[in-house]
Structure 1
Amino acid sequence: MGRAAAAAMIQGLVLLWAAVLGGATPTSPRLRLSFSELQARHGLRTFRLERTCCYDTLLVDEERGRLFVGAENHVASLNLDNISRRAKKLAWPAPVDWREECNWAGKDIGTECMNFVKLLHSYNRTHLLACGTGAFHPTCAFIEVGHRLEEPVLRLDLRRQEDGKGRSPYDPSHRAASVLVGEELYSGVAADLMGRDFTIFRSLGRRPSLRTEPHDSRWLNEPKFIKVFWIPENENPDDDKIYFFFRELAVEASPALGHQSVSRVGQICRNDVGGQRSLVNKWTTFLKARLVCSVPGMEGDTHFDQLQDLFLLASRDRWTPLLYAVFTTSSDIFQGSAVCVYSMNDVRRAFLGPFAHKEGPLHQWVAYQGRVPYPRPGMCPSKTFGTFSSTKDFPDDVIQFARNHPLMYNSVLPMGGRPLFLQVGAGYTFTQIAADHVVAADGHYDVLFIGTDVGTVLKVISVPKGGVPNAEGLLLEELQVFEDSSAVTSMQISSKRHQLYVASRSGVAQIPLHRCAAHGRACAECCLARDPYCAWDGATCTRFQSSSKRRFRRQDVRNGDPSALCSGDTSHPVLLEQKVFGVEGGSVFLECEPRSLQAHLDWTFQRAGEQASTQVPATERAERTRAGLLLRGLRRRDAGLYLCTAVEQGFSQPMRRLALHVLSVAQAERLARTEDAAPGAPPPGPKLWYRDFLQLVEPGGGGSNSLRMCRPPPAPQTPPESPPELPRRKGRNRRTHAQEPPRAERGPRSAAHW
């Protein structure tokens, strides 16, 4: 296929993406909270070290009540309940001669020639295993942490430092994935200085080290390792497998598409000890399959092929946990991220399917149709599937087949056949994920916390849709946990303490899993939030306890319908009438912003002296915005009572009652002169709200008369010589004519006076 054909194919893909996802719009959260709001009212706590960056590694230790953090030249031990107090830090820099050697090799001594801690594991009751880049000299050490909760220990064991090659990357920009099982470390990492020898490596322990076949693109082709998990198959420990999740360049891809990146899941048997005559000190049970996350379309699927992170969530069946994974696209055409969910049964089924096979360089990849040797490659030596006691007993044809056929033909598809949650064109991409299983009044729900590359965390719940296994993700909250918007690089969750720990290049943040009080002060608001952590207790929106016997706790996560649950609730806050002033011919902005971003505003108007209310239409003079109602070209008959109501999922809730008074320009001027002429009048200042009127209505700034919204100030010490219904103005409004909201689409005129 020539360049012209390849270009045509790429153009076709662009058109396909536009057809499938072009109309997609990013989902808005119901609640969006800024960094300052979270810090002031919702328990956000932060931690950072002076002149230190890159908090890449988090380890939650529930028994000790500590959060261990790996960063540049440091390991920190933080309190799980409050990371801002009782923090201990351990300096672990690279030796000076290693830093100088790193600098001589052309690396930046200030940003690369440091010891970036990439790996932290609990090794035993008293020590951690830590590994870092060591200024391009990977190194590992054991850190004493003790086991007493009241006196945390953090001390480097200088007698037990080891070579970190094959455990930690050389380059701080590279990721490493590992799991410690017993005393053995299974890691996926680049094992050389140039970052070209990628390997899945077993080290430590008493058995000999094993690795993948080096420099064989059929095994690993420039992989980026994401996560590693030990997942038992059954009660027999001989059948235990280690699963590696990574992305790599696809050897099976069409050459016309160039280097195509795909996501993979790889498996090895824990009791693999290598071959006897072939694959000596190499894995004999290594297999890999493609991990697909795509949106089905009429003309083909749209793939999210860049695996970013994965979380293993335990289920009722301990052998079949759920795998929640976040993906992004490798396309330069559009920006998108997705969450896909996988069952371990589907992963195992792919490894029991046909092997991928290719006869020669000009042939296509097909399912292998020949004879598969016994025992089947990929099976662990155990009594479950045969009489082989060791991989060294495997016949030569089994070893040779495993060497030449590491790739499976069938892919692993997500549950439901499509992503659980999708964001396209949202201005950010997903980077990390953590999950929690929550028991609610109407069922069990998985709550997902998704980190992004702009320092935010999305809270998403998985809600059943139709029959099992179909579900959909609902975006509840968007939380700005890092003030500098740095990308989320690591996340850990403590279900026991109901806390989420988030790391970035700039620091570590801690945030509670729920903010029930933020959902509102009414039963309907609490119910519409659909947060499985929260329920209405008759007075407030509070933490839901499944063991509680209080029958009046109200919660509807599945549907979020307050009509039945809150029909008799009388807890709505009393709306006080607020006065708003405008000037004839100018503009006024009636502020009313709903707590929920998924609600829309409904405005009604009641003219002074009348009983009936009418709907305020969207016209060129009355423009609805997200934050309120903008009225232009004010007339005297626009004066009256305006009621703002938030409508969400068919449920209405009054938000504000605003009484608009429209003054003439002459009246405003007369009032200003009256105040200036009053005996003992105070000097010009904030109290002279009439002067503010004149400054706002004079032609010039912006080309038209305008006044946004004047809030009434407290009653003055000495009553002014002005009508009693016109209070003094507290201060100049912060909104200006130049900051007017954008004009909305004009709707039909449904009221005569508009």
Structure 2
Amino acid sequence: YAVRTDQHNSKWLSEPVFVDAHVIPDGTDPNDAKIYFFFKERLTDNSGTTKQVHSMIARICPNDTGGQRSLVNKWTTFLKARLVCSVMDEDGTETYFDELEDVFLLETDNPRTTLVYGIFTTSSSIFKGSAVCVYHLSDIQTVFNGPFAHKEGPNHQLIPYQGRIPYPRPGTCPGGAFTPNMRTTKEFPDDVVTFIRNHPLMFNPIYPIHKRPLIIRIGADYKYTKIAVDRVNAADGRYHVLFLGTDQGTVQKVVVLPTNFSASGELILEELEVFQSNSPITTMKISSKKQQLYVSSDEGVTQVSLHRCHIYGTACADCCLARDPYCAWDGNSCSRFYPTGKRRSRRQDVRHGNPLTQCRGFNLKAYRNAAEIVQYGVKNNTTFLECTPKSPQASIKWLLQKDNDRRKEVKLNERIIATEQGLLIRSVQDSDRGLYHCIATENNFKQTLAKINFKVLDSEMVAIMTDKWSPWTWASSVRALQFHPKDFVGAFSHSEMQMINQYCKDSRQQGQQREEAQKMRGDYSKLKALINSRKSRNRRNQLPGS
């Protein structure tokens, strides 16, 4: 025979969509273990017109065989509670991420300290986003041991049930620590069975740790679909690393960082594009033994290493700033960190990511500086000074130094615009010339990413020197004076001629590159079949919202 929920009873289930299920111990007696079901359902509000989506947790006893006279072949231990993942606005209103998408249980030696990670999305067409909420199993069990919900009054308002609770408490498993003499649910008294049929809902909702999400993504072009969590031992403690699958076929690797006693921060370490067709991630499993993450979608199954330390570059500072608990600087490269290793040269600082304390003696001074390059701009034209930070957490500041004077911060306006890739200068002026320094700051660590000696050329002079079809023809028409090119060139100083020659050389090279690119584009269709390898994006160039 089969045991099931009470059919056609919307108090128990209302258009449910089940997400996951887990058997979880409850105390030391194995008979007290519960099966927890994670699902979402559509509930009609008190007016009877609007349906709202609620995420829920229900639980039953594995040894539930149904009732003797009532609820025959139906669960006699079925209880449920609302699972809340929300943000509180300044005016006190609560905005819900109401659709549960996936659940991951991070188990420990003590079942009561198990953490439940949940991915939630919004059902609203106005407010769109994803969130990760984390729950203590002990908080979940406290709600199930708390007051039952009871509808009362003409508006059927939910209130805590104030009447007598029958014994044994509804939801208790037979043969457990509290009911050692009851061998089966068929021995439950009738009032216990009747009570649970009419009061399956707990009054208190289940809130996450700190009553707010750990991660929120709003306004992004993706939604989270799956989650897997790994517990990683690092030099300065134990960290949780989250692998978050999206509906765009990518996986984000995120480390949870302690910020203070009442909150935690999060840092995207890396984003991997594991499926090229943007196929949503449907399953993710971690193999601790093989140190692999197995990912599936409708397109297929693939595997990704939990740690790819080589992507953080070849410098100690980059390895330290990455703050990846899997990785450490070993004196020569960024490599896998083993907590049992005794090598003194290993450098790792996940909590603070401070290269100043970790990377002394590893050519830090040379790393923090950048080689000077020369770049030319034409007056009244637009130019771009390129500088891309290695990390989305880094802040960028541009400084300008003129004629060996002290450096001053570049004043941004409608003409001079800072972008994520560099500095855009519209309508270049003579006053823009000088030595530009692109300074990145992350965790109070400053580094010069680019040093550009910017020189300004006169637009008329450049037009004359680069005119292929009618060189110097304008000269003969000016006041009927005859000019020879050599006479004209003699009007410029040696340094000015060097600048013009360099500008012309750069222009020719860019033209040749464009021609080669055009030629390559014709052969691209032949190459496309070969370019089918998996792409990855290092978090050092990846923004959280992208």
**CA displacement, residues 447-505 of structure 1 (integer Å, 9 cap, x when unaligned):** 1111222222222222223326x423333333333222222222222222222222223
Task: Pick the aligned partner of 1:731 from 510, 514, 519.
Answer: 510
Count of aligned positions: 481
**CA displacement, residues 703-732 of structure 1 (integer Å, 9 cap, x when unaligned):** xxxxxxxxxxxxxxxxx9x95897554223
The alignment status of 1:503 with 2:296, answered yes or no, reads yes
Task: Pick the aligned partner of 2:216 from 422, 430, 450.
Answer: 422
CA distance in 1, matches of 2:388, 2:266: 25
Task: Pick the aligned partner of 1:590 from 385, 388, 393.
Answer: 385
CA distance in 1, matches of 2:3, 2:113: 27
Larger helix share, 1 or 2: 2
Q: How many angstroms does 1:302 deviate by?
A: 1.8
Q: Counterparts in 2 of 1:529-678, with a 5 A limit?
A: 529-571=322-364, 572-573=366-367, 575-607=370-402, 610=404, 612-636=406-430, 638-665=432-459, 667-669=461-463, 671-672=465-466
Q: Give the secondary structure class of the aligned counterpart of 1:730.
A: helix
Match of residue 6 from structure 2: 213
CA distance in 2, matches of 1:537, 1:316: 32
CA contact (8 A) 2:30 2:176 kept: no
Structure 2 unaligned spans of 5+:
472-497, 515-546
Q: How many angstroms does 1:558 deviate by?
A: 2.0
Q: Give the secondary structure class of the aligned counterpart of 1:403.
A: helix
Match of residue 286 from structure 1: 78
Q: Give the secondary structure class of the aligned counterpart of 2:110.
A: coil
Match of residue 47 from structure 2: 255
**CA displacement, residues 416-437 of structure 1 (integer Å, 9 cap, x when unaligned):** 1111111222232221111111
The alignment status of 1:408 with 2:202, answered yes or no, reads yes
Match of residue 63 from structure 2: 271
Instruction: Assess, with a 3 A threshold, how the Cα gap between structure 1 residues 239 and 673 changes in structure 2: closer, same or farther.
Output: closer
CA distance in 2, matches of 1:478, 1:458: 4
Q: How many angstroms does 1:555 deviate by?
A: 2.1
Q: How many angstroms does 1:321 deviate by?
A: 1.5
Q: How many angstroms does 1:262 deviate by?
A: 0.7
Q: Give the secondary structure class of the aligned counterpart of 1:211.
A: coil
Instruction: Assess, with a 3 A threshold, how the Cα gap between structure 1 residues 561 and 394 changes in structure 2: closer, same or farther.
Output: same
Q: How many angstroms does 1:666 deviate by?
A: 5.0
Q: How many angstroms does 1:314 deviate by?
A: 1.2
CA distance in 2, matches of 1:382, 1:446: 37
**CA displacement, residues 184-224 of structure 1 (integer Å, 9 cap, x when unaligned):** xxxxxxxxxxxxxxxxxxxxxxxx43211112111111100
Q: Give the secondary structure class of the aligned counterpart of 1:210.
A: coil
Q: Counterparts in 2 of 1:18-417, with a 5 A limit?
A: 208-250=1-43, 253-255=45-47, 258-297=50-89, 298-359=91-152, 362-386=155-179, 387-417=181-211
CA contact (8 A) 1:600 1:648 kept: yes
Q: How many angstroms does 1:617 deviate by?
A: 2.4
Q: How many angstroms does 1:576 deviate by?
A: 3.5
CA contact (8 A) 2:322 2:353 kept: yes
Instruction: Assess, with a 3 A threshold, how the Cα gap between structure 1 residues 313 and 587 changes in structure 2: closer, same or farther.
Output: same
CA contact (8 A) 2:283 2:296 kept: yes
CA contact (8 A) 2:20 2:103 kept: yes
CA contact (8 A) 1:245 1:265 kept: yes
CA distance in 2, matches of 1:342, 1:463: 17
Q: Give the secondary structure class of the aligned counterpart of 1:731.
A: helix
Q: Give the secondary structure class of the aligned counterpart of 2:290.
A: coil
Instruction: Assess, with a 3 A threshold, how the Cα gap between structure 1 residues 434 and 369 changes in structure 2: closer, same or farther.
Output: same
Instruction: Assess, with a 3 A threshold, how the Cα gap between structure 1 residues 724 and 343 changes in structure 2: closer, same or farther.
Output: closer
Instruction: Assess, with a 3 A threshold, how the Cα gap between structure 1 residues 581 and 371 changes in structure 2: closer, same or farther.
Output: same
CA contact (8 A) 2:376 2:503 kept: no
CA distance in 1, matches of 2:149, 2:68: 25
The residue type equivalent to 2:327 in the other structure is C
Q: How many angstroms does 1:283 deviate by?
A: 1.2
CA distance in 1, matches of 2:431, 2:210: 57
The residue type equivalent to 1:409 in the other structure is F
Match of residue 47 from structure 1: none
Q: Give the secondary structure class of the aligned counterpart of 2:193.
A: helix
CA contact (8 A) 1:325 1:341 kept: yes
Q: TM-score, normalised by structure 2?
A: 0.81
The residue type equivalent to 2:456 in the other structure is V
Q: How many angstroms does 1:255 deviate by?
A: 2.2
CA contact (8 A) 1:231 1:319 kept: no
Q: Give the secondary structure class of the aligned counterpart of 1:348.
A: helix
CA contact (8 A) 2:316 2:359 kept: yes
Deviates more, 1:267-276 or 1:722-731: 722-731
Match of residue 20 from structure 1: none
CA distance in 2, matches of 1:249, 1:290: 12
Q: How many angstroms does 1:580 deviate by?
A: 2.2
CA distance in 2, matches of 1:413, 1:220: 21
Match of residue 97 from structure 1: none
CA distance in 2, matches of 1:335, 1:532: 32
CA distance in 2, matches of 1:621, 1:519: 35
**CA displacement, residues 500-556 of structure 1 (integer Å, 9 cap, x when unaligned):** 222223333332223323334333332222221222223332222111112232222
Q: TM-score, normalised by structure 1?
A: 0.59
CA distance in 2, matches of 1:675, 1:315: 78
**CA displacement, residues 652-678 of structure 1 (integer Å, 9 cap, x when unaligned):** 11112323343334544565479999x
The alignment status of 1:442 with 2:236, answered yes or no, reads yes
Q: Give the secondary structure class of the aligned counterpart of 2:347.
A: coil
CA distance in 1, matches of 2:310, 2:187: 63
Q: How many angstroms does 1:566 deviate by?
A: 3.3
Q: How many angstroms does 1:636 deviate by?
A: 4.8
The residue type equivalent to 1:416 in the other structure is H
CA contact (8 A) 2:77 2:196 kept: yes
Q: Give the secondary structure class of the aligned counterpart of 1:526.
A: helix
Q: How many angstroms does 1:383 deviate by?
A: 4.4
The alignment status of 1:524 with 2:303, answered yes or no, reads no
CA distance in 1, matches of 2:251, 2:175: 44
Q: Give the secondary structure class of the aligned counterpart of 1:563.
A: helix
CA distance in 2, matches of 1:305, 1:674: 66
CA contact (8 A) 1:435 1:448 kept: yes
CA distance in 2, matches of 1:514, 1:361: 59
**Structure 1 vs Structure 2: percent identity of aligned residues?**
49
CA distance in 1, matches of 2:441, 2:176: 63
Q: How many angstroms does 1:335 deviate by?
A: 0.7
Instruction: Assess, with a 3 A threshold, how the Cα gap between structure 1 residues 555 and 676 changes in structure 2: closer, same or farther.
Output: farther
CA distance in 2, matches of 1:260, 1:418: 21
CA distance in 2, matches of 1:383, 1:335: 45
The residue type equivalent to 1:500 in the other structure is L
CA contact (8 A) 1:520 1:595 kept: no
CA contact (8 A) 1:276 1:393 kept: yes
Task: Pick the aligned partner of 2:245 from 437, 446, 451.
Answer: 451
Q: CA RMSD in A?
A: 2.8
CA contact (8 A) 1:416 1:471 kept: no
Deviates more, 1:493-502 or 1:656-665: 656-665
Instruction: Assess, with a 3 A threshold, how the Cα gap between structure 1 residues 256 and 399 changes in structure 2: closer, same or farther.
Output: closer
